[in-house]
Copies of this chain bind each other. A is one copy, B any other.
C-alpha cells in the first residue's frame, strides 16, 4: 500500500457547544495544520499515487473555503460542532468530492482512501480516515 501526503493550513474562529468543551465554549480560534494522505494499492504507470501538484491544489482549495472565517457564521456548519474531528471529516469528504469530480486527474479515481489529520497545536491533533 502506498500513501502520498501534502500539508497546508487554515486559520479559523469558532466556538463549541457543550459543557465538555469548558472555556472552548467561548468564541476563540485555531490554526489547523492539515495533512491529507491519499492511499492507493499500487502506483500508476508514471510511478505515482496521485499528481502531487493537483493534490496540493485541491487541498489548498478546500482549506481556502474555510480559511479566515468564523465558522459559527457559516451556513454549512449550522447545527454542527466544528470540533477538530468534524473538521477533519469535512476536509476529507470535500477532497473525496474533488477526487470523484476528476479534479486530481483520471488516475486519482484509483485511490483507495484518504486520511486527513488536523494539528491544532504542538500537543493535540485529530484525524479521520475514509475509503474512496
Contacts and interface: CB of A to CB of B under 8 A. Distances in A.
Interface of A: 1-9, 11-14, 16-18, 20-24, 26-33, 43, 46-49, 51-53, 56, 67-70, 80-86, 88-89, 105, 120-129
A90 to B, nearest CB: 11
Given A29-B31, A30-B30, 20 more contacts: A2-B128, A4-B124, A5-B124, A5-B125, A7-B124, A11-B24, A11-B29, A11-B121, A13-B70, A17-B46, A20-B46, A20-B51, A20-B53, A28-B68, A30-B31, A43-B85, A43-B89, A47-B81, A49-B85, A49-B126
A20 to B, nearest CB: 5
